[in-house]
Amino acid sequence: MATAEFGKAVRRWRDRVSPEAAGLPVGGHRRASGLRREELSQLAGISVDYVTRLEQGRATSPSAQVVEALARALRLSGIERAHLFRLAGLNPPGPETVPAFINPSVHRLLDRLTGTPVAVYDASWTLLLANPPYAALMGDPSGWRGFERNSVWRQFAGPGSRARHTPESLARFHAGLVADLRATAERYPADPQLRRMVTELRASSARFAELWESGAVGQHEAGPKTIVHPEAGPVVLDCDVLTVAGGDLRIMVYTAVPGTEDAERLALITVLGTQALSH
């Protein structure tokens, strides 16, 4: 059970984070420099009503996923994150679970790449954080919940992505994703969320089950991708995946060759954001 201090801590840390620091647009009159509840709700991917009830002490059993999302949105340090888990009546995640903590230096890195699509994933390819250019390029993930935020799940049991594939490249992509996920599952055999996702994917996707049963272990290799944007059309980009030492995070970065039509289209997509062009 969450203590009364849980809501007070969330409110206190919410007041500490400016919308600029969180990558949110600033407009209109603001009574305080910190985040509004609506903004924290957007960043954490939980409803405004639930944020309100948590802060007022009327919701007393937040899940580990909710606490993790709040800690990430509030940009808490490692010590503060552990404290928030304890205030929620939960044990902080241990080394047997897939790390989901984004340290402040990674937050600062994304803050500086304001014109470049960047996203942070955990080792199981669950999306933790995406900047506005990434949301504009790949689709707004703010409404995605649970396994919808996992790239493997979206490929085998969901809508896929905006990346265009040939049958051959799709087969290689799927095989690489599953081999990478198996390697992660072997590193974190006690992670309950990962085990549940694998179980559900094996039951719902014959292709995933086939690849999983092959026993292949590997690492997903990124490379050039053609992204089909609903407004700007196809754009060819280099996709690089950077790893964070000690955190087992993957930072995915999309860039275009300067001076090309693809660079112009990426700039248009970034300016356009998640809005649709008027025709």
Domain match, 110 and 79 both: no
Domain match, 70 and 125 both: no
Domain match, 131 and 230 both: yes
Q: Specify if 92 maps to a domain.
A: no
Beta bridge partners of 163: 227
Amino acid type, 145: R
Whole-prediction pTM: 0.83
Domain match, 197 and 257 both: yes
Measured CA to CA in angstroms, residue 75 lies from 55, 68, 105, 136, 150 at distances of 17, 10, 10, 23, 21
Tell whether the model's pLDDT for residue 279 goes beyond 60: no
Structure tokens at 197: 């996702």
Question: 238-274: per-residue pLDDT in tens?
Answer: 999 999 888 899 999 999 999 999 999 999 999 887 6
SS3 state of residue 253? strand
Question: In which domain, by residue range, is 10 found?
Answer: 4-87
* CB atoms near residue 245 (< 10 Å): 6
Q: Specify if 136 maps to a domain.
A: yes
Residue-level pLDDT at 110:
87
**End of a domain among 61, 87, 113?**
87
Question: 174-211: per-residue pLDDT in tens?
Answer: 999 999 999 999 999 999 999 999 999 999 999 999 99
Residue-level pLDDT at 52:
94
Structure tokens at 190: 């006690």
Domain match, 64 and 173 both: no
State the total domains in the chain.
2
- CB distance 63 to 34 below 8 Å: no
User: What CATH number is associated with residue 52?
Assistant: 1.10.260.40
- 118-121 and 127-130 strand pairing: antiparallel
SS3 state of residue 158? coil
Q: In degrees, to the nearest 5, what angle opens at C-alpha 275 toward C-alphas 227 and 45?
A: 85
